[in-house]
Amino acid sequence: MSSWDYSFDGSTVLEKAPAKVKPPRKWKVVLYNDDFTPMDFVVRVLMRFFGHSEEKATAIMWQVHNQGKGICGVYPREIAETKMMQVNRYSRANGHPLLCQIEQDD
């Protein structure tokens, strides 16, 4: 479909108003604390899958440890889902129950 409207006689051309497009909703990727996953593994996950520096990854790991969960990053849904699946797959492949989920950003 074109962005132009023509009258019946073909003499008038009207430009359509651009559609208002909202930016995609963002989703938080969250890690949850457990009693079995080593802290250094959590730091490694945060560096590997989210690109955090060791210092930032360590701060998030302590948040997970002390508050029960920590936000790894905020992304569009498809990217958040992919990161969640990658982290969960990597954790299970390495024998750890580390849980990663997504939550809608407010």
Per-residue pLDDT of the chain (106 residues; tens, 9 = 90+): 455 555 556 666 667 778 888 888 999 999 999 999 999 999 999 999 999 999 999 999 999 999 999 999 999 999 999 999 999 999 999 999 999 999 999 8
Is residue 29 a contact partner of residue 80, using CB atoms and an 8 Å limit?
yes
- Do the beta carbons of residue 4 and residue 15 sit within 8 Å? yes
- What domains can you pick out in the chain, each with its CATH number? 22-104 (3.30.1390.10)
Other beta carbons less than 10 A from residue 87's beta carbon: 23
The pTM assigned to this predicted structure is: 0.79
At residue 1, the pLDDT reads 46
